[in-house]
Amino acid sequence: MRQPKFIFITGGVLSSLGKGLAAASIAALMESRGLRVTLQKLDPYINVDPGTMNPLQHGEVFVTDDGAETDLDLGHYERFTHVCMSKKNNFTSGSIYYSVITKERRGDYLGGTVQVIPHITDEIKSCIRGAVDDFDLMIVEIGGTVGDIESLPFLEAIRQFRNDVGRENVLYIHVTLVPYMKTSGEVKTKPTQHSVKELRGIGIQPDILLCRTEKNLSTDIKAKLAHFCNVEPDGVITAIDVESIYEVPIQFHQEGLDEKILRLLNIWTRTPVLDPWEQLIHRLKEPAYQVRIAIVGKYIDLTESYKSLNEALVHGGAAHSTRVLLDYVDSENVEKEGGEALIEGADAILIPGGFGQRGVEGKIKAITYARENRVPFLGICLGMQLATVEFARNIAGMEKAHSMEFDKHTPYPVIYLMREWFDYKNNQTIRRDENSDFGGTMRLGAYPCVLEPQTFASQAYQQPEISERHRHRYEFNNEFRDILAGHGLRFSGLSPDRNLVEIIEIPDHPWFLGCQFHPEFKSRPMEPHPLFKAFVGKALEEARKKRPEDFQKECIC
């Protein structure tokens, strides 16, 4: 078996420099050259996974097919490549220590003293090896910033890794900041010098520097960084700010990053095929039209909370050569008198997933507006559940209908905690109640769904059965299925045993659809998710009716 190659990506100076995007873009370049590439994220925080972390602090939780709740960077990995992430592609300090402590309690260490070195570092290296499978190249991103105490075991593990598999099989890339000082008109190299010094003090000499900057780095600046950081001059790469994240692979290629990586790792490949990326950038930068979509939620202060959702809408727009303008509307403000004015100008309305009662009535109010004014509507997860509540209240006459998540004593619990359901992934029946572990009450990962013919869903997917990823606790209550259907609610997607409602629609509407799953997790720039493609298409039709003067030329999509 051929020895796989490894790239370890670290970050310095400060957080949020884009290590995840850098890793994803490098993977895209290597994949375009014909290599089989996979990625992994190692996070230093003590949480076992990000499932219970506040989205405002950590961003969205990205869910994989196998039901792992992971870091949002895994979303970047999937969107930029063809690889499908799983639970072995994301580990945290919490999960590493949990595994080691479990082994110690079981007696696996034969009474020895359990220490950070070698036990924790060996566990980290085992997790890295366990994810490489039959890939040619594995890119491992180390979360956090060099100098943070919690990331030290990960850095020590990847330092050892080069000795374990051979120097020619490991490459270290350091993402750093080269700030531009407007007052003096200079770019400053000192933060990068100190960051590399910190890294070298741990025993890791970076081979390549990815320098985040507002300005192109001159040859002199690159030479200075190379000299003080002990890297080759062509190993200093300008990672300049770009308009769209999908420009990054092309920008890296223009800087010669892929050629440098191949030379250092002694890999021979074909010439990269970047035409699809260039065509995508053209559609994003020079769209024929634009639409405005209102996203009514409660995590609007940080767009990272809806990262995959935002990107899926961009993908759907690109499929129609359309720029999608996103209006983030706080659902609590919609609750107020006259709050509908915040969404009146939207060409479509979207209610995303979420947890907690805050802003729920504002979301229901926005759903009422979309239904009554025939505005294209997409409800995702909680959005689908609240669309059911709104329909039950205002169409089916169940005035106090609600989800039991928010009202335990509602006389019409149209959304409730299902006590028993079939887990298609593991071929077993799951039982749960309010006393189950918080994570144990969730339906997580990919589940099959059978589509009813001649529905919005079937028209979008163009296939009879689909598989989508879930992350929710409450389900549609089947006791109310017949009465809601009698009032016109259509159940267009059901589990194969017809026990779980996955998609609801209002057929007497231009396009009104709610789905229990999260379609945004499976959307990719060159392969837009069918529901987002259809949703943006309907928003485009709405915009054409309202602003015909903007649609004089034919759509080139």
Q: How many domains does the chain have?
A: 2
**CA atoms within a 13 Å half-sphere pointing along the CA-CB vector of 124:** 28
State which residues form the domain around 395. 288-547
- pLDDT of amino acid 123: 97
Per-residue pLDDT reduced to its tens digit, 217-235: 999 999 999 999 999 999 9
**pLDDT above 90 coverage of the chain, percent:** 82
| Mean pLDDT to the nearest integer, 85-101 | 96
User: pLDDT value at position 529?
Assistant: 98
Using the structure block, give the residue that is written with the tokens 């400053």: 188
Indicate the residue among 261, 279, 297 that finishes a domain.
279
Cα–Cα distance list, 264 to 129, 268, 359, 529 (Å): 21, 11, 53, 37
Local confidence band at 554 (pLDDT 50, 70, 90 cut-offs): low
Instruction: Let me know if residue 352 belongs to a domain.
Output: yes
- pLDDT for res 392: 98
Residues 375, 502 within the same domain: yes
Stretch 340-350: mean pLDDT: 95
At 1, the pLDDT band (50, 70, 90 cuts) reads low
Q: What is the domain-level CATH number for residue 34?
A: 3.40.50.300
pLDDT score recorded for residue 557: 43
Q: Which of 470, 518, 529, 542 is catalytic?
A: 518
> How would residue 549 be classed by pLDDT, with cut points 50, 70 and 90?
confident
Rounded mean pLDDT, 7-24:
94
Write down the residue that tokens 């059911």 correspond to: 388
pLDDT value at residue 438: 46
Catalytic residue (choose from 381, 470, 502, 515): 381
DSSP-assigned letter for residue 110: T
- Same domain for 93 and 129: yes
Q: Which residue has the higher pLDDT, 422 or 471?
A: 471
> Phi and psi (nearest 5°) for 143?
-70, 165
Q: CATH number, domain at 437? A: 3.40.50.880
Question: Is 282 among the residues known to form the active site?
Answer: no
320 CB contacts (<8 Å, ≥6 apart)?
289, 533, 536, 537, 540, 555, 557
Whether the per-residue pLDDT at 258 is higher than 60: the answer is yes
Whether 68 has a pLDDT exceeding 90, the answer reads yes
Active site residue 518: yes
Last residue of a domain, which of 279, 299, 334? 279
Question: Could you read off the pLDDT of 412-450 as tens digits, one per residue?
Answer: 999 998 777 677 666 777 776 655 554 456 889 999 999
For residue 386, is pLDDT > 90?
A: yes
pLDDT of the residue at 354: 80
Give whole-number Cα distances, 358 to 54, 204, 327, 517, in Å: 14, 47, 19, 21
Higher per-residue confidence, 1 vs 363: 363
| Same domain flag for 292 and 267 | no
- pLDDT reading at 301 higher than 60: no
- Tell me the mean pLDDT in the region 344-365: 90
Residues 274 and 296 in one domain: no
Instruction: Say how many Å lie between the first and final Cα of the chain, rounded.
Output: 45
In a domain, 504, yes or no: yes
pLDDT for the residue numbered 420: 72
Gap between the Cα atoms of 395 and 387, Å rounded:
11
pLDDT for 435: 59
State pLDDT tens for residues 177-194: 999 988 888 899 999 999
pLDDT in tens, 135-154: 999 999 999 999 999 999 99
Quote the CA–CA distance of 484 and 491 in Å, as a whole number: 10
Residue 60 among the catalytic residues: no
Q: CB-side exposure of 465: number of CA atoms within 13 Å?
A: 7
Residue 227 lies in a domain: no
CB-neighbour burial class of residue 104 (10 A; exposed 0-12, middle 13-18, buried 19+): middle
Q: Tell me, yes or no, whether 358 and 409 share the same domain.
A: yes
In a domain, 238, yes or no: no
The pTM of this model reads 0.92
Same domain, 297 and 351: yes
Judged against a pLDDT cut of 50, whether residue 205 lies above it is answered with yes
Query: Residue 86: which pLDDT band, with cuts at 50, 70 and 90?
Result: very high
Reading the block at residue 411, the tokens are 């006389």
CA distances from 552 to 487, 540, 544, 549 (A): 40, 13, 10, 6
Please report the pLDDT score of residue 182 as a whole number. 86
Task: Determine, yes or no, domain membership for 451.
Answer: yes
**Helical pair 19-32 and 73-80, crossing angle rounded to 10 deg:** 20
- Computed on alpha carbons and rounded to an integer, the radius of gyration of the chain in Å comes to 25
Interval 4-12 mean pLDDT? 96
CA distance 539 to 530: 14
Catalytic hit among 69, 141, 247, 520: 520
More confident residue, 225 or 301: 225
343 and 269 both lie in a single domain:
no
pLDDT at 137: 98
Instruction: Give dist(CA 513, CA 35) in Å, integer.
Output: 39
Domain-terminating residue out of 230, 258, 279: 279
Check: CB of residue 321 under 8 Å from CB of residue 555: yes
Tokens, residue 60: 């969205």
- Among 49-63, 128-142, 241-255, 489-503, the range scoring the smallest mean pLDDT is 49-63
- The amino acid sitting at 87 is K
- Cα–Cα distance list, 173 to 19, 85, 552 (Å): 10, 22, 49
Residue 216 to residue 222: CA distance in whole angstroms: 10
Mean pLDDT of 35-55: 89
**Average pLDDT value over all residues in the chain:** 92
Question: DSSP states of 284-352 as a string?
Answer: HHS-SEEEEEEEEES-TT-GGGGHHHHHHHHHHHHHTTEEEEEEEEEHHHHHSTTGGGGTTT-SEEEE-
Using pLDDT thresholds of 50, 70 and 90, give the confidence band for residue 556: very low
The conformation of residue 117, written as its DSSP 8-state character, comes to I
Residue 200 burial by Cβ neighbours in a 10 Å radius (0-12, 13-18, 19+): middle
552, part of any domain: no
- Per-residue pLDDT band for 323 (boundaries 50, 70, 90) equals very high
Question: Does residue 251 sit in the same domain as residue 295?
Answer: no
Asked if residue 182 belongs to a domain, the reply is no
With respect to residue 225, please indicate whether it lies within any of the assigned structural domains: no
Four-residue CA torsion sign, 245, 519, 469, 480: positive
Same domain as 268, residue 294: no
Same domain, 322 and 466: yes
350 and 250 belong to one structural domain? no
Tell the burial category of 132 from Cβ atoms under 10 Å away from its Cβ (0-12, 13-18, 19+). middle
Residue 41 CA: distances (Å) to CA of 24, 130, 283, 402, 540 = 11, 13, 31, 39, 37
For residues 435 and 487, state if they share a domain: yes
Are 347 and 293 in contact by the 8 Å Cβ rule? The answer is: yes
